[in-house]
Amino acid sequence: MWALDLCPLTFNAKDMASHAADERSSRPLLTLGRVDRVRVQVGYRARPDGPAYMQFMLDLPVPEPDSPRDLDAFAEPRVLAALEPVLYAGADAPRHYSLHQHRWHTSWGLSPGSLEIGLHVTTGTRTTAVSEASHDGVTRAFRDLLEVAGRPEPMPISRDAAILRARRGAAAAYGLDPDALSLGVEEHHPAENSWTVGLRTTAGDEYDVVVGFVDGYAGSVRVRHVDRIEVFDSVGSE
């Protein structure tokens, strides 16, 4: 009769379990992982402590790296270098700014790792010339970042997708509840593959949103806070 000696197997199983435990203990439990998505937000304001009157957002998916050099394609220095021209906003010297960065990663689902960079530039008095220069500077900077990411194939932006992005963009830019924003005017620009959407809060604040302002890319959104114009009726005041 054959007899099985289980002792060596028991030893090997314990050894394998110990080795696996060592591997687990050597891996960090907390990690930010690689960057899978980049959001860049640029805002312009009249004074350092004031709210932004216009904000621009760009959402970029980061492709899988083909080489180790591609791993830092969207590292902080690369993104900030592309954004430097937006500091001028029609001036000869760079304007004052505030800058923040946020990295986050989740351990569930697809476990995306995201990098968010927010830049606020102080322009002083808001003028049409400053607004146009700001728009042009941000458009060029966002185009550069799109080239780094690999410009996606142009896709038509549907009405529903445009309204959803407009609501989310305004909410992210100004800390609003997207579901509480009522829809006003809407205009499709087929030649540019963009949409202009007017939104209004229950308090009466209005926002003019353009989805696809950078060459029709749906992930580019411009949000402008519309100044309130108060009308006073002086008839019968005397």
19 domain residue, yes or no: no
Q: Which domain holds residue 165?
A: 155-227
The number of domains in the chain is: 2
Query: 166-178: per-residue pLDDT in tens?
Result: 999 999 999 999 9
Among 93, 120, 151, residue at a domain's last position: 151
DSSP code of 95? P
Asked if residue 37 lies in contact with residue 110, where contact means CB atoms within 8 angstroms, the answer is no
Residue 122: both structure tokens together: 């102080």
23 domain residue, yes or no: no
pLDDT band at 114 (very low <50, low <70, confident <90, very high): confident
* Higher-confidence position of 211 and 148: 211
Amino acid in the structure at residue 174: Y
Among 119, 151, 183, residue at a domain's last position: 151
Determine the pLDDT at residue 149.
76
* Higher-confidence position of 70 and 133: 133
pLDDT band at 37 (very low <50, low <70, confident <90, very high): confident
Contacts of residue 114, Cβ cutoff 8 Å, sequence gap at least 6: 35, 36, 37, 38, 39, 103, 104, 105
Same domain, 164 and 52: no
Same domain, 35 and 146: yes
Same domain, 189 and 215: yes
Cα torsion for 208, 167, 90, 80, to the nearest 10°? 180
Pairing of strands 52-61, 206-211: unpaired
> Does 187 have pLDDT greater than 70?
yes
Cα separation, 58 vs 148, in Å, equals: 13
Over 98-144, what HEC string results? EEEEEEEECCCCCCCEEEEEEEEEECCCCCHHHHHHHHHHHHHHHHH
Determine the pLDDT at residue 103.
83
pTM: 0.79
> Does 12 have pLDDT greater than 80?
no
Lowest mean pLDDT among 57-66, 81-90, 140-149, 186-195: 57-66
Cα torsion for 97, 115, 139, 183, to the nearest 10°? -100
Same domain, 56 and 123: yes
